[in-house]
Amino acid sequence: MKIQLFSLIAACCLITPVSGMAETTSDFLPEAGAKSSYSPQDIPTTLKPISDSLDTLLNKGFQIIATSGYANSGILFTLSFQKQHVLCVLTTPNSQSDQNVPTSRCWSLNIIAAAPSGK
């Protein structure tokens, strides 16, 4: 009886920290426009569309430094190469629409004079 109780308590202690580390997006950052000293103003940011696809950028030497879901319609990737940073959205094929191949759209976060050359 004592062994079963000890096993139950040990299992609860092991599971609790994992559930506490689960990602919650609702309280990650202060809401835009919230009146708080921790909430900065929304500042316009230039996103320059680039004509390279996600796979082309990876072949040029860009590395994925972060990923995130994107509004239930794809995956958002943050890429970096030397001092250039790019956001790309990868949209996967969707059987409920006519899109049958993966596509990507990419934007440069900062303007660099010379783009990296292909390898």
107's tokens: 């934007």
- Ordered by start, the domain boundaries in the chain are 46-113
Contact residues for 63 (Cβ-Cβ < 8 A; gap 6+):
79, 80, 81
Least Cα distance to 79 among 71, 90, 93 occurs for 90
Strand order across the beta sheet in which 103-108 lies: 48-50, 103-108, 84-91, 75-81, 63-69
Residue 67 has pLDDT above 90, yes or no: yes
Q: What are residue 91's DSSP bridge partners? A: 103
Least Cα distance to 70 among 41, 107, 98, 39 occurs for 107
Q: What are residue 68's DSSP bridge partners? A: 76
- At 28 the pLDDT is 55
Residue-wise pLDDT tens digits, 11-65: 444 444 443 444 444 555 566 666 666 667 778 888 999 999 999 999 999 999 9
